[in-house]
A and B are shown apart, each in its own frame.
Chain A
Amino acid sequence: MIDVLWLVIALPLVGSTINLFFGKRIGQPLAGWVAFGFVALAWLVALPATFSLIDGSIPVETSYLFTWIPVVGADVALLWDPLSALMTMIVTGIGSLIHLYSIGYMRGDERYPRFFSFMNLFIASMMILVLSANYAMMFIGWELVGLSSYLLISFWFTKPAAAAAGKKAFIVNRIGDWGFLVALMIIFASFGTFDFQTIFASAPVVITVGTATAITLLLFVGAAGKSAQIPLYVWLPDAMEGPTPVSALIHAATMVTAGVFMIARSAVLFEMAPTTGAIVAVVGTLTALVAALIAVSQTDIKKVLAYSTISQLGYMVLAMGVGAYTAGIFHLTTHAFFKALLFLGAGSVIHAMAGDQDMRTMGGLRKKMPITFITMGAGWLALSGVFPFSGFWSKDEILAATFAKGGWYIGLWVIGLLVALLTAFYMTRLFVMTFLGKPRWEDGVHPHESPATMTIPLIILGLFTVSFGLVNTPALVAFEHFLEGSFQYVHHVQGLSMGAIIGLATIALIVAIAGIVWGWLKYHRSELPAEDGKFWRRSRDAFGVDEFYGRTIVEPGKKASEWAADVFDVKVLDGIAHGIGSGTRGFGDVLARLQTGQVRAYAGGVAIAGVLLIIVFLAVGGGF
């Protein structure tokens, strides 16, 4: 069964190639159906293998395909364990739904087949990432998803903002990749291999805590790039320039969670380095807080969701930092469902509003698009963390795990609760401003419900959003049990009684409901409240982080480059070369003055030299 796993990568790749070369001939919307078909097929291929893993009929296994780079022992090999199975299911499952959704959403775009080609390429890249059995191959997937992300963000490249956003995403991700790359160097220098199983089995023996800290910190730099953590989160809000299905698939559900996935995959190494764990936890918490603070003031519906994604990724990273891998992955899963749902819902709204994304000109859409309204309502409650929606269970688990760590981690727990409050608040703001109240549409906009290809994915995702949380409750720990196979070398610390868990959950629930009530009271009225004041203004331009980076890194960097190019290279280096050149010429001019052109002067020179030579020979030969 595992032998056909390579098809999970190959099928979307084939789909991508077909659409790239023949997409125009296939035409709309058939090209979209082809793309959807290949992804769905990949999902079907992976499905039985996943079930076999759940019922334990096949072991965790590596399937060797071929040798990639022999000198560094990098093979192309696939690892099929619960973690990769879960990610495969998320990526191909949600991926299929979003492909289905895009068939309607992208209708009429002149580069329709190209879009699906890129989407399929993304699925293939993501599968390489999650199925990889070694770090080298993971890095391939890691970079390839960056490529697909670049292609899809700047899909509407005639908009300068879209092109710039794509570039920014790739470059910022590359900064993270630098960390990953250096981590790979240290890993190879320490282990002599990239193979996960070998590394995890031997890590405690082979490397010291110091090396583990170095490796994990660098890996975290990579994760921070891909999963949009401080200080590298700035690309994700800009990435919303891409088409909405892209935002849903790549920048909410799957690719951005790659960093979290990578940390979970390297759990053994992170377990060895408590310092890294602490840093990871703090960075995650701060990211969650900062992003939530920015999200509350955004007026662009996709921007709110983008910052919300960063904030939720902060939660997941916090989970990784405190060693609650299962909880983090669980939140990753539920978040994939409800955030994809929210984005697709937002896309549906934008579609209905003829491309308008400003929530201030929406309102009252409830009656016009009931399916979108209901499904997004489920997403809203899930993200806010209301019992019994999926978000409640997973977020609560992370907070509980943080609390269980004790010590200064309690502080992180408090911040986490604050973020939960803000989350509920801004999601309520989004929901109320969009669907409730009075219509504030501009003239000529006639909102309507989206076609079936768009609403069916919404309904399916909505069902999962409502129910999926139940697979891992304090009473039923199926999910955690399933993932155990992936964390076999990780030692679990469990310290909370059932009473404490229920107590913490109650607190979280109260906070969430408080946030919803606050938002409801503030925004559910006939006039939109004015959002001015210092905090609102600073928050709306994202605390000026982009400008700050521009001032402190981009501009000085550009200045330095210009100096090197225009001054150092031209004046100094070329100057030296020219100096040598003109020096030689000057010396030549001096010598040229000896060339009087007078034959007799030359002859005299020859004669004098002859005499002198004879004298020298005599002197040397002792002729005198």
Chain B
Amino acid sequence: MPILSILIALPLIGALIVALVPRRRPELVLPIALVVSIPPLVAASYVLWNFAVGDASFQFTEHVVLVESFGISWSLAVDGISLFMVVLTALLFPLSIAASRSITEQVKTYMVLMLILETGVLGVFLSLDLFVFFAFFEIVLIPMYLLISMWGSDNRAYAALKFVLFTAVGSAFLLVSIVALAVITGDQMGTFANFDFRNVLQADLSTTTQYWLFGGFAIAFAIKVPLFPFHTWLPDAHTEAPTAGSVILAGVLLKMGTYGFLRFNLTLFPEATVDFAVPLAILAVIGIVYGAAVAIVQPDIKRLVAYSSVSHMGFVILGIFALTTQGMTGSVVTMISHGLTTGALFLLIGMIYERTHTRRIADYGGLAKIVPIYSGFFLFAVFASAGLPGLSGFVGEFTILIGSYLTLPVLTIIAASGVILAAIYLLWAYERVFTGPVVNPKLEGLRDLGFREVAIMVPLVVLIIGLGVYPKPVFERIEPSVGIILERIEATTGYIVPERGTPEGVVDVHYGQVSESPDHEEEGG
């Protein structure tokens, strides 16, 4: 059963079904869209359930040749890295659709675009053919542009255009690099071009070629992530987008950038990766501190969360380019966790925005008294985002920091200060919005969360706690896939991954067998 193709097709079929809803019954659109967004989640769960743990290779592979002479094929597969991105995508879409009740104009178009967007995102994470990957990468742009520009808030036209232009600039570099890579590969295989990831992987690239291609890929993905200093589209897009748009943008679209780094930059251009790791890590650390610092003084709550994304994604990039197993695994976990926590934050902001129609922090105050359930959820999301241990954010960032220190000690120590800044901007915002006396009379009598809204939040809360307390199943699936990326880098360059930083002489004391004698260290040494 070509489960991955089915997975990609399901939202598209759903979009078709939604499109068939009679125009006279707009109230049916949301329930139907919600229902059709469930099958992809089921399919993704099926993939997650049947994913073989400890297997580093691609699984559920599908391969159909599309254009023989150009070497283009419909080639899909998952590994430990894309697996969770797919599940995250399939999870966040139903939630954001459910949270889109405030959309009243052209609901049908909206839902159809959301479902097409889902197909695009799933395609990005699943396709192994560079051509198809690029196609999906671009397909994602269009619905997102329309979502922002049609259902966004006041400044939406500017934000949508900025989003598209920034991303399109990156895409141009990406396209050129992909084509160049395909032609080089094809040349070496004796055909015109070849876009298949596994063939591209075999291509013999000179160091200079690697530099150029790495640069092309890196610019595209760095804009998508976004890495400092390419981040300025993000606050505008996040702020102006409708709630679901922000959730998807932060939750999965940004991950397309980091995923691209992992899947393509690191895997295809090992030499360039080793040489460019430190500059990129420096940008990442600047992004961590800068994003957090700028977030502190944002007057708009959505902008604040947007800048916090810059900071969090900086951690992800740092973890990736630390080139250690821990750092990279932590990065993937942070990608998941950031999708959950920032998704939760944007959903919550959307819920209060529906009631008050303002995002300005200064307009709020004392909300905790009026809407206690809402405040409880918000505080939870705040702490999850601030990286409180026991919740998902910490697991990823902690692993990144521990792993990155092995190769980039100074940068990592600076990056760790992002943890302090995160507490500052999040708690200060919480303080201003939720505590103190109620100053704004408009806030009196605000409705607390209803059953539907609680039902949207609960899955996220459960997953955030689950990932924070027992992340082992996730780590087990990611680690082998990350391992082969590093193995490849080790095999082709002189770089050596610091395994666990274990020097000579460490004693492995097994649980329950601790010796009482102080000269215990001689046993192992």
**Beta-carbon contact of B427 and A167 below 8 Å:** yes
Contact in complex: B294, A569 (CB < 8 Å) = yes
Q: Which residues of the other chain, A, contact B515 by a CB distance below 8 angstroms? A: 201
Residues of B within 8 A of A170 (CB): 423, 427
A158-B437 contact given A61-B514, A170-B423, CB 8 Å threshold: yes
A188: chain B residues within 8 A (beta carbon): 402, 405-406, 500-501
Complexed CA–CA distance, A96 and B293 (Å): 42
A554 to B521, CA, bound (A): 47
Complex contact B399–A72 (CB within 8 A): yes
Assess whether A147 is in contact with B398, with CB atoms less than 8 Å apart.
no
Q: Mark A341-360, 1 if CB is under 8 A from B, else 0.
A: 00000000000000000000
The answer, yes or no, to whether B326 is at the interface (CB within 8 Å) is yes
CB distance B166 to A577 under 8 Å? yes
Contact A573 B229 (CB under 8 A): yes
Residue of A nearest to B328 (CB): A71
By beta carbon, the residue of chain B nearest A491 is B518
Total number of B residues with any Cβ neighbor in A under 8 Å: 77
CB distance from B266 to the nearest CB of A (A): 17
Write out, one digit per residue, whether chain A residues 254-272 have a CB within 8 A of any chain B CB (1) or not (0). 0000000000000000000
The answer to whether residues A158 and B366 also contact, given A189-B406, A206-B506, A573-B229 and a CB cut-off of 8 A, is: yes
Report yes or no: B472 in contact with A70, Cβ–Cβ below 8 A.
yes
Q: Which of B128-136, B176-184, B267-275, B412-420 contacts A (4 or more CB under 8 A)?
A: B412-420
Task: Please count the residue pairs between chain A and chain B whose beta carbons lie under 8 angstroms apart in the complex.
Answer: 203
Contact with B along A518-561 (1 / 0, CB 8 A): 00000000000000000000000000000000000000011011
Asked, given contacts A158-B369, A198-B507, whether A182 binds B413 with beta carbons under 8 Å apart, the answer is yes
Q: Check if A564 is an interface residue, CB within 8 A of chain B.
A: yes
B293 to chain A, nearest CB (A): 5
Closest to A160 in B: B436
Interface check B476, CB cutoff 8 A: yes
Given the known interface contacts A144-B388, A188-B402, the answer about A68 and B471 at a Cβ–Cβ threshold of 8 Å is yes
**Given the complex, which residues of A lie within 8 Å of B427, measured CB to CB?**
150, 167, 170-171
A45 within 8 A of B: no
Q: Is the CB of B509 within 8 A of A174?
A: no
Within 8 A of B (CB), among A302-318: none
Closest to B375 in A: A157
CA–CA, A284 to B521, complex, Å? 33
Instruction: List chain B residues, Cβ under 8 A from A195.
Output: 509
* A167 & B472 in contact (Cβ 8 Å cutoff): no
Chain A positions within 8 Å of B475 at CB level: 69-71
A143 in the interface (beta carbon within 8 A): yes
A572 to chain B, nearest CB (A): 9
A171 to B420, CA, bound (A): 7
B428 contacts chain A at the CB level, 8 A cutoff: yes
Secondary structure at chain B's binding surface: helix, strand, loop or mixed?
helix
Which A residues are CB-close (under 8 A) to B294? 561, 564-565, 569
Contact with B along A163-174 (1 / 0, CB 8 A): 110010011001
* Interface check A41, CB cutoff 8 A: no
Closest A residue by C-beta to B524: A202
Q: What is the bound-complex CA distance between A195 and B500, given in angstroms?
A: 14
- Give, as a whole number of angstroms, the nearest-CB distance from A613 to chain B: 26
Return the chain A residue nearest B307 by Cβ. Answer: A565
- Report whether A69 and B398 are in contact in the complex, using a CB–CB cutoff of 8 Å: yes
Bound together, the chains give a CA A522 to CA B420 distance in angstroms of 45
Which residues of chain A have C-beta atoms less than 8 A from B162's C-beta?
Answer: 577
B470 at the interface (CB under 8 A from A): yes
Cβ-based interface call for B516 (8 A): yes
| Chain B residues whose CB sits within 8 angstroms of the CB of A557 once the complex forms | 293, 296
CA distance A206 to B502 in the complex (A): 9
State the Cβ distance, A160 to closest chain B Cβ, in Å: 4
> Is A594 in contact with chain B by the CB < 8 A criterion?
no
Count of A interface residues, CB-CB < 8 Å? 72
Please give, as numbers and ranges, the residues of chain A lying within 8 Å of B521 by CB-CB distance: 201-202, 204-205
A409 at the interface (CB under 8 A from B): no
Q: Find the B residue at minimum CB distance from A184.
A: B402
A164 to chain B, nearest CB (A): 7
Q: Per-residue 0/1 for A48-82: is the Cβ within 8 Å of any B Cβ (1 yes, 0 no)?
A: 00000000000111111011111111000100000
Within 8 A of A (CB), among B392-420: 394-395, 398-399, 401-403, 405-406, 409, 412-413, 416-417, 419-420
Do the beta carbons of A157 and B476 come within 8 Å of each other? no
A109 at interface by CB-CB < 8 Å? no
Bound complex: CA A154 to CA B263 (Å): 45
The answer to whether B435 and A66 have CB atoms under 8 Å apart is no
List of B residues within 8 angstroms of A181 by Cβ: 398, 401, 416, 419
Tell me, in angstroms, the Cα distance from A485 to B399 when the chains sit together: 32
Taking the closest CB of chain B, its distance from the CB of A595, in whole angstroms, is: 23
B520 contacts chain A at the CB level, 8 A cutoff: yes
A581 & B388 in contact (Cβ 8 Å cutoff): no
Residue numbers in B under 8 Å from A142 (CB-CB): 389
A18 proximal to B (CB < 8 A): no
Q: How far is the CA of A565 from the CA of B232 in the complex (A)?
A: 11
Contacts of B165 in A (CB 8 A): 581
A164, B430: Cα distance in complex, Å: 10
Chain B neighbourhood of A565, CB < 8 A: 293-294, 297-298
Known: A171-B420, A198-B506. A66 touches B470 (CB 8 A): yes
Contacts of B290 in A (CB 8 A): 564
Determine whether A197 belongs to the interface, using a CB cutoff of 8 Å to chain B: yes
Which A-chain residue is minimally distant from B472 (CB atoms)?
A: A67
Nearest B residue to A559, CB-CB: B297
Beyond A157-B436, A163-B431, whether A569 also contacts B297 by CB under 8 A is no
- Given A144-B389, A158-B366, A573-B229, A71 contacting B506 (CB threshold 8 A): no
- A71 B325 Cβ-Cβ under 8 A: yes
Smallest CB gap from A194: residue in B: B402
Q: Is B383 an interface residue (CB 8 A)?
A: yes
Shortest CB-to-CB span from B45 to chain A, Å, is 23
Contacts of B419 in A (CB 8 A): 174, 177-178, 181
Near A by CB (< 8 A), chain B positions 490-525 give 498-503, 505-509, 511-512, 514-516, 518, 520-521, 524-525
B234 to chain A, nearest CB (A): 11
Q: Given A68-B472, A185-B402, are A201 and B501 also a contact pair (CB < 8 Å)?
A: no
Q: How far is the CB of A19 from chain B (nearest CB, A)?
A: 13
Q: Cα distance A602–B203 when bound, in Å? A: 46
A126-166 to B contact mask, C-beta < 8 Å, 1/0: 00000000001001101110010010001001111011100
Q: Which residue of A lies closest to B503 (CB)?
A: A206
The B229-256 residues at the A interface (CB cut-off 8 A) are: 229, 231-233
8 Å CB contact of B330 from A71, A167, A184: A71
User: Which of the residues B330, B383, B437, B525 comes within 8 Å of A205, measured between beta carbons?
Assistant: B525
Closest CB-CB distance, B330 to chain A, in whole Å? 7
Q: What residues on B are CB-neighbors of A70 within 8 Å? A: 472, 475-476, 479
* 15 residue pairs A–B, Cβ–Cβ below 8 Å: A66-B470, A70-B472, A71-B403, A71-B475, A140-B389, A147-B388, A157-B368, A181-B401, A182-B405, A185-B401, A191-B501, A193-B500, A202-B505, A202-B524, A206-B505
Which 8 residue pairs of A and B lie closest in terms of their CB atoms, listed nearest first? Answer: A192-B502, A163-B435, A185-B405, A140-B389, A192-B500, A157-B435, A189-B501, A174-B423
Other CB < 8 Å A-B pairs besides A67-B472, A68-B470, A158-B435, 17 of them?
Answer: A62-B511, A66-B470, A70-B476, A72-B326, A136-B398, A140-B389, A142-B389, A147-B388, A162-B435, A174-B423, A186-B405, A191-B501, A193-B502, A202-B505, A488-B516, A488-B518, A489-B518
Q: What is A's interface to B at a CB cutoff of 8 Å? A: 59-64, 66-73, 77, 136, 139-140, 142-144, 147, 150, 154, 157-160, 162-164, 167, 170-171, 174-175, 177-178, 181-182, 184-186, 188-193, 195, 197-198, 201-202, 204-206, 488-489, 557-558, 560-562, 564-566, 569, 573-574, 577, 581
Query: Which residues of B does A touch, CB under 8 Å?
Result: 162, 165-166, 229, 231-233, 290, 293-294, 296-298, 325-326, 329-330, 366, 368-369, 383, 388-390, 394-395, 398-399, 401-403, 405-406, 409, 412-413, 416-417, 419-420, 423-424, 427-428, 430-431, 434-437, 470-472, 475-476, 479, 498-503, 505-509, 511-512, 514-516, 518, 520-521, 524-525
